[in-house]
Amino acid sequence: MTHIFDLSGKVAIVTGANTGIGQAIALSLAEAGADIAAVGRTPAEETVAKVRALGRKAEIVSADLSSIEPVQRVVDETLEKLGGLDILINNAGIIRRAYSVDFTEADWDAVIDTNLKVLFFLCQAAGRHMIAQGSGKIVNIASLLSFQGGIRVPSYTASKSGAAGLTKLLANEWAAKGVNVNAIAPGYIATNNTAALQADETRNRQIQERIPAGRWGEASDIGGAAVFLSSSAANYVHGHVLAVDGGWLAR
Ligand code: NAP
């Protein structure tokens, strides 16, 4: 019997696959049977080695996702090297912290370009292929700041709120074409992205006290949700932003 979470024979692009949440998602998808195109500016050697050790195919696709210049090549190289494209995980992202009164245009543009503009155009490039084949799964990595305002991260909040909005818009346009577009909103996950918060003793304690689960999430906590939204188990799930946050938003 075919398992509803089985990803055997599927090819997934994971952006920012060299570390953190992206690496964890790549490994979870591979454990479920998918082959992986590990996309990013830092070569994801470790991720590729781990995926191959699981018996799946993995290839590095080098791309600096601070502009849309490499977007079509990412899709073309994936098709060339792995022979298909069924899943897109838009995970690569950055954050810049400063109070709004001091926030610079450079910090605005850098975050919006990587987290929102490139995310959209990767959806477009992969979506064109998926619509033509009549099936595909896109999972955008959103944030708690897709729901909440945050503080000292104006471009990040704008980008992640935008990513949640685009997820719903694309679901409206593509659901009837066999393409599922959803998002995951990770809570506080211990990665490079949150190193500054983890290092701040007071903020660290306040964060942990507010999380019903009582701990930071691990990158691996996000993998199961990514497998679900990439699999046939989610065939009727469209435009959803799934919080994986230890209960933070329930509080
Ligand atoms: P991370 O460890 O800093 O990973 C970010 C990834 O994005 C890295 O692979 C990074 O590559 C890649 N990236 C950044 N800019 C890039 C560019 N211009 N071109 C190509 N790749 C680029 O942080 P993370 O926590 O795993 O973050 C992954 C995603 O989850 C992000 O979208 C983040 O906003 C989101 N998120 C994280 C949390 C959390 O608590 N950690 C919560 C909510 C949402 P390099 O290593 O080369 O920089």
Question: Confidence class of residue 174 from pLDDT cuts 50, 70 and 90?
Answer: very high
User: Do the beta carbons of residue 67 and residue 76 sit within 8 Å?
Assistant: no
Output the pLDDT for position 212.
98
Output the pLDDT for position 247.
98
Ligand 1: lining residues by beta carbon, under 6 Å: 16, 18-22, 40-42, 64-66, 91-94, 114, 141, 143, 186, 188-189, 191-194
Q: pTM to 2 decimals?
A: 0.98
Output the pLDDT for position 50.
98
Output the pLDDT for position 46.
98
Kindly state the average pLDDT of the residues 4-28. 98
**Mean of the per-residue pLDDT values for the chain?**
97
**Ligand 1 atom nearest to CA at 20:** 26
**Ligand 1 atom nearest to CA at 41:** 20
Q: What is the pLDDT of residues 89-104, one digit of tens each?
A: 999 999 999 999 999 9
d(CA 127, CA 88): 9
Output the pLDDT for position 128.
98
Residue 107 in this model has a pLDDT that exceeds 80: yes
User: Do the beta carbons of residue 135 and residue 88 sit within 8 Å?
Assistant: no
Residue 2 in this model has a pLDDT that exceeds 80: no
Question: Confidence class of residue 13 from pLDDT cuts 50, 70 and 90?
Answer: very high
Q: What is the pLDDT of residues 116-164, one digit of tens each?
A: 999 999 999 999 999 999 999 999 999 999 999 999 999 999 999 999 9
Q: Which of 118, 96, 222 is nearest to 166 (CA)?
A: 118
CA of 152 to the centre of ligand 1 (A): 18
Domains of the chain: 2-244 (3.40.50.720)
CA of 22 to the centre of ligand 1 (A): 7
Residue 173 CB contacts under 8 Å (≥ 6 apart), including other chains:
none
- Where are the alpha helices (H) located in 90-194, listed in sequence order? 105-112, 118-133, 154-174
Ligand 1, from 19, 95, 208, 222: best to mutate by most atoms within 8 Å of Cβ?
Answer: 19
**Residues paired with residue 12 on neighbouring β-strands, in sequence order:** 36, 87
Residue 172 in this model has a pLDDT that exceeds 90: yes
Output the pLDDT for position 38.
98
Residue 1 in this model has a pLDDT that exceeds 70: no
Which of 99, 156, 188, 236 is the catalytic position? Answer: 156
Question: Confidence class of residue 78 from pLDDT cuts 50, 70 and 90?
Answer: very high
Nearest CA to ligand 1 atom 13: 92
Let me know if 188 is a catalytic residue.
no
Kindly state the average pLDDT of the residues 52-81. 98
Output the pLDDT for position 85.
99
The DSSP H or E segment spanning 183 is strand 179-186
Kindly state the average pLDDT of the residues 170-194. 97
